[in-house]
Amino acid sequence: MALDTLAVTRRKFLRYSALAGTACAASGLLGPLAPAMAAQPIKTIRPGYLTAAILGDMPLAAVKDGQPVGTDLDMLKLIADRLELKLDIVPMGFPAVIEAVRSGRADWFGGNFAWNPMRSKILLLTDAVFYTGAYIIMRDGEAFDGALSVADLKGRTLGSITGYSIVPDMKKVPGVKEVKLYDSSDACVRDVSAGRLDFAALDAPTIDYMILQNPALKLKQIPITYDPAFPSLTGKFEAIWGVYPQNQDLFDAINQGVRWLKATGQVAPILTRYGIANPDYLQPMPSDPRLGVDRDGNGALLGPFAHPPRDFSTAFS
């Protein structure tokens, strides 16, 4: 049959073919790539769909009026559209989200999940989508702007949630007047807004979205400068996406899609749409904890899931 009778669309061809990138810029952006593979579809749990396991929390990943919304799903949809995959959203609890992807009941999870060495041993983890740092919530009348330091917490009351990993560091800050722990973010935020608490440290993207939705709270959120004496309180982490380890082609396509989003400046506007506007979210950490664990110095995969990546650069050209 003649090729011109096949009526193959550009994206359909991309979905079913592995094409080698020839442009130097593309190969530099996507890292070292394997030669073109034989034509084959991208394998997913449900053919033609990308099954996304989510917690259902805004502003990161939720379903509203039957449509996917939130930072991570907005970005994932841009990538899925390029790959001609439809999104199938499956809300579930934590840690069921991680287990669903690890066991192959879902293709993907996202939603401000931190990279850590243990997760890299059981899942394929994308490059950082953004970087969530430690932020301090305060009333908008406070004089701080840009950043504050651990020393600025002296003589103040601090709040957070019972069981958060930052609490031990908070209790060690010299000169802190009191550390108050809460059962919910709402209760903690209300006390800051009412002046019953000076500062609080909670889930930064969630609070940014809350401030966007409720300007009457008259709050702001400022990053705290890294201090090695207080790594949990002041440190940042890479917010990553997880992919089912057996679907390496899907991982390669999604990971290259993440690099495309970042290289084309699409991440910041999506974050800002949900109130996550501080440029610190796009600022990498001073040192990459992934080097020698699941990435080498060129960004190539290391560890149990290392493989020559399939080239999907043409899908993102």
pLDDT along the chain (317 residues), means of 10: 37 38 39 44 95 96 96 98 97 94 98 95 98 95 95 98 94 97 95 98 96 96 95 95 97 98 98 96 93 96 97 94
The reply to whether 17 falls in a domain is no
Dist. CA 178–CA 73, nearest whole Å: 39
Dist. CA 239–CA 75, nearest whole Å: 13
Q: What is the pLDDT of residue 304?
A: 96
The reply to whether 20 falls in a domain is no
Within this chain, do residues 124 and 248 fall inside the same structural domain, yes or no? yes
Q: What is the pLDDT of residue 9?
A: 40
Write out the two tokens for 292.
Answer: 């020698």
Within this chain, do residues 312 and 271 fall inside the same structural domain, yes or no? yes
Within this chain, do residues 219 and 283 fall inside the same structural domain, yes or no? no
Within this chain, do residues 124 and 265 fall inside the same structural domain, yes or no? yes
Instruction: Look at the alpha carbons of 236, 251, 83, 45 in this order and tell me if their dihedral is positive or negative.
Output: negative
The reply to whether 289 falls in a domain is yes
Dist. CA 245–CA 248, nearest whole Å: 6
Write out the two tokens for 99.
Answer: 């287990």
Vertex 270 angle, CA 70 and 189, to 5°: 60
Within this chain, do residues 247 and 119 fall inside the same structural domain, yes or no? yes
pTM of the model: 0.84
Provide the residue range defining the domain that includes 35: 30-131+237-316
Within this chain, do residues 298 and 154 fall inside the same structural domain, yes or no? no
The reply to whether 12 falls in a domain is no
Q: What is the pLDDT of residue 260?
A: 98
Within this chain, do residues 87 and 144 fall inside the same structural domain, yes or no? no
Write out the two tokens for 57.
Answer: 């929390």
The reply to whether 50 falls in a domain is yes
Within this chain, do residues 217 and 257 fall inside the same structural domain, yes or no? no
Instruction: Look at the alpha carbons of 286, 292, 296, 302 in this order and tell me if their dihedral is positive or negative.
Output: negative
The reply to whether 286 falls in a domain is yes
Within this chain, do residues 138 and 230 fall inside the same structural domain, yes or no? yes
Of residues 201, 222, 193, the one with CA closest to residue 159: 201
Within this chain, do residues 50 and 121 fall inside the same structural domain, yes or no? yes
Q: What is the pLDDT of residue 40?
A: 76
End of a domain among 187, 206, 234?
234
Dist. CA 48–CA 308, nearest whole Å: 24
Strands 178-182 and 135-139: unpaired
Q: What is the pLDDT of residue 94?
A: 87
| Domains identified in the chain, total number | 2
Q: What is the pLDDT of residue 119?
A: 96
Within this chain, do residues 124 and 143 fall inside the same structural domain, yes or no? no
Q: What is the pLDDT of residue 31?
A: 45
Q: What is the pLDDT of residue 126?
A: 98
The reply to whether 1 falls in a domain is no
Within this chain, do residues 54 and 188 fall inside the same structural domain, yes or no? no
Dist. CA 179–CA 169, nearest whole Å: 11
The reply to whether 295 falls in a domain is yes
CATH of the domain at 228: 3.40.190.10
Write out the two tokens for 170.
Answer: 């908070």
Residue 52 in contact with residue 46, Cβ under 8 Å?
no
End of a domain among 190, 207, 234?
234
Q: What is the pLDDT of residue 142?
A: 97
Write out the two tokens for 283.
Answer: 């600022």
